Structure 1
Amino acid sequence: MSDNPTCLNIRDGIPDWITIREAVRLLNGLNGCKIRKSDFYRFALQGKILFSIYFQSPVILRKIKSQNHKLKLRPIKSSSTMKSFTLAESSFVSENNLTFSTEGRYIHPVQRVIDTTLLGYEYVLIQRLLAHSLKIPSPVTGAKSNNYGITVCLLGETFQLFEKMTWHERIERHVKRLPKNISSDDYEDIILNATKKDSHKYYFPMHELPSDACFVLRKSELDKLINKPIEKEILQPSPTRISTPLSRLFWLACKNNETISPLIMQPYKLLSIFEQWASEEGITDRFSGDTLKAALERGSPPSIPTQK
C-alpha cells in the first residue's frame, strides 16, 4: 500500500478525495490544530470517520450475502491442499475453512474510489498503519483473527474483492506461503491439476489490498473534521449504551459459564473468546474490550470489581 501525497492547493478548493497525509496538512493549516496520521487511523477504527480505498487499477467485486444485517460465511468444501489456495494463510493454519458467502455476478466497477466500512480484513490493515505511524509493533493477528478477505461498500451493499487468474498463476503466487506440513506429493498433484486447467481463468478472493491501492478520505468525511471541534466532537469517546438490568444479566451469564467464569475479572482476555464464538456463528461485528469491561463493571456486585 502507498500513501504518497500530491500537491494540494487549498485556494483551488478541496478535491473529491485526498490522501491521509494531505488531510493532515490541510487540517493543521486550516484549524491550527496538531492532528497526526495516527489520529485519522484511530478515528476510522472507532467508526468516527469513513475511509475509502483508491484503486488505481481495475478490480473485481462480488456481493456478499447477508442475514439480519450480518455478513454470511460458508465453508469451503475441497481438499486441504486446494483450500490453501483459496483461504488466507492465517485461516489455513488455524484450520478455519470459512470464507465470505457471495452471490450474483462478478462486476467491474468504473469507480476508482470506493468506500469501506472495515467489515473485512481491511480493518487489520488500518491497525497495521496505525502501529507503523505510532512506531509500535505491528499486530500479530489484529482484531480479525481470521482473514476472510477485503470488503468495500457500493450502493448500500457490501462486496468482496476478487482477482481472476489461472490456477497456475495462483499457485505460483501462493506456493511459497504454504505450511511446511504439505508434502512434495501434494505439490505434484497441484501442478498436474494446474496444467490441465491452465487455459481457464477462475475468480479467487483477495486477502490483501492490491499493491497500488491506498486508503483515502472523501471530502464529505473531511468536512466532518473541519466543521466540528475536533477535541469535543471527534476525540470524545462514544458512550457505552447498555442498561443496568442488561449488565446484570450479562454478568450473571458470564459468571455461570464454565468457560469464561475464570476470566470474568479480566474482561480484555474474554474478548478473544467472544470473537471466536461470533466467528463460529457467522457474526462479523467488531467488539470492544472497553465496552465489555464497562458492561461487566456495571453488572457486577459492588464488592467484585473487574481488572484490566
Structure 2
Amino acid sequence: MSLHKIRQEWLTLDEAAEVIRQHNITLLPADLIRHALHGDLPLSVYFPSPVLLRPLNPPCHFACRFSKPPFPPSECNKPGNRKVMANSPPCRRDPTLQLTTSHLWNLPLIGLERLLLHQQLAKTLNRPCPKDTHCCNQIGIVVCDENDSYYQLCCRKSLRELLLELLATQNNLQEELHLLIGQLYGNGRNDLKSRLSLSVCYLQDTLPPDALFVIRRTHLEAFLTRHQPESKERITSALSRLLWLACKHNPQLDDEMLEHPYKLLNIFECWAREDGMHLPLSPETLKTALQRGAPP
C-alpha cells in the first residue's frame, strides 16, 4: 500500500493520528506519545509566538542523549549530575539570549520537556500526573534545531515577580537566589524597590500556552514506512481467468492439481527458478486466484 501524500510540514497529534488511520493503522494520540517516549517517533514543538532561548552550555553529555529509553538512572539521576549549569538561577545579562525566528523546534526529551510529555500522556489516560521522571530536570525545557544544537527555553521576569512566584509554588528558594537577595540587601535598602524591578532571565518549567506538540511531516512519513501493514497480493479477475486457462490447458498439470492449488505452488516456484525469477506468491493467493478464474 502506497503512502498518501502529506502536504503539511507539521501535524498536531490528532491530525497525525487521523493520517495514520488512513493508512490502516489504528493509533490514538496517546499511542503517539508512547512511541515518542520510547524513541520511535521524534516529536517537535511549534511556537506561534517568539520565545527566548539560550544555548545549552556546557552541552549535556548524559546517556540520555545517546541511548534509547529507558535511560540508565545511574547516569541521568546521579545527585552530582543533576546540576548541569552553574548559572541555572536568574541572570541579568546574557549575550547568548535570543528570540526565536523559527517556529518549529525538535524535542530531544532530555529535560523537563520529557516530564511534560509524561504529564500529557497521564492526562490523556486520566491517570495521576507524575512529578518527576528520568533525565536532566535541572536544565529546564530543552529544544534543538536541525543542526542538533541544543537550547534552553527561558523567560524574562522582574526579580520581584519571580520571587513571589517561586514562593507561591515551591515554598522555598534556591541557594543562589538567597545569595542574590543577600547582595541586594547588602547594598542598602534605599534602592531595593528599583532593584527588585530589574528584569532577569529564568529557565522555563512549562511551555507557553500557545505552544503545540507536533510531528514533522518527514518524521511521520518515516514512521508510516516502518509500521505500514504488509499489503496482500491482489490478482484481478481477468488475470485469474488467464491463470486458470493456462493451468487447465497445460499438459503437465491435471484436474487434480487444479482442485488442490497448494500442490501447484511448488511447480510454479520450480519454473521460476529455472528462468532466474523470484516468485513472492503465497499458497492462499494462488488458491483464491484459481477459484476466481474457474468457470461458474
* Residues 1:52 and 2:50 aligned together: no
- Cα RMSD of the aligned pairs, angstroms, is 3.6
**Matched residue, 1:129:** 120
> In the alignment, which residue of structure 1 is the partner of 2:291?
none
* Aligned-partner residue type, residue 215 of structure 1: F
1:22 corresponds to: 15
Q: Look up the match of 2:237.
A: none
Task: Identify which range, 61-70 or 153-162, moves more after superposition.
Answer: 61-70
Contact 2:59–2:150 (Cα < 8 Å) also in 1: no
* SS of aligned partner of 1:118: coil
2:242 matched residue in structure 1: none
Alpha-carbon distance between aligned partners in 1 of 2:59 and 2:172, rounded to the nearest angstrom = 37
Corresponding residue number in structure 2 for 1:39: 31
> What are the residue-to-residue correspondences of 1:1-308 with 2, within 5 Å?
13-28=6-21, 30-66=22-58, 69-70=61-62, 98-100=83-85, 105-144=96-135, 146-154=137-145, 155-179=147-171, 195-229=193-227
The alpha carbon displacement at 1:180 in A equals 6.8
> Which residue of the partner structure matches residue 248 of structure 1?
none
Q: Rg bigger for which structure?
A: 2
Question: Residue 205 of structure 1: CA displacement?
Answer: 0.9
User: TM-score, normalization: structure 1?
Assistant: 0.54
2-side partners of 1:62 and 1:11: how far apart? 38
Once residues 228 and 198 of structure 1 are traced to their aligned partners in structure 2, the CA distance between those partners, rounded to angstroms, is 55
Cα deviations across residues 91-139 of structure 1 (Å, max 9, x unaligned)?
xxx9x98353578611112011111111111111111112222232222
**In the TM superposition, what is the alpha-carbon distance from 1:33 to its structure 2 partner?**
2.1
Would the alpha carbon gap of residues 157 and 111 (structure 1) be closer, same or farther in structure 2, given more than 3 Å must change? same
TM-score, normalization: structure 2?
Answer: 0.56
One-letter amino acid of the counterpart of residue 203, structure 1: C
Write the distance in 2 (CA, Å) between the matches of 1:67 and 1:163.
Answer: 20
Q: CA deviation at 1:229?
A: 2.4
> Kindly, what percent of the aligned residue pairs are identical?
23
Does the Cα contact within 8 Å between 2:53 and 2:154 map onto a contact in 1?
yes
Aligned to 2:96, the other structure's residue is in SS state strand
Higher strand share: 1
* Residue 198 (structure 1) shift: 4.1
Do the aligned residues in 1 keep the contact of 2:46 with 2:213 (CA within 8 Å)? yes
Measured after TM superposition, the shift of residue 175 of structure 1 is 2.9
Are the structure 2 counterparts of residues 65 and 169 from structure 1 closer, same or farther at C-alpha, using a change threshold of 3 Å?
same
SS in 1 for 2:207: coil
Task: Report how many aligned residue pairs link the two structures.
Answer: 196
Tell me, in whole angstroms, the C-alpha distance in 1 between the residues paired with 2:213 and 2:130: 18
Q: Deviation of residue 179 (structure 1)?
A: 1.9
Residue pair 1:166, 1:197 contacting (<8 A) in 2 also:
no
Instruction: State whether residues 63 and 104 of structure 1, in contact with CA within 8 Å, keep that contact through their aligned partners in structure 2.
Output: no
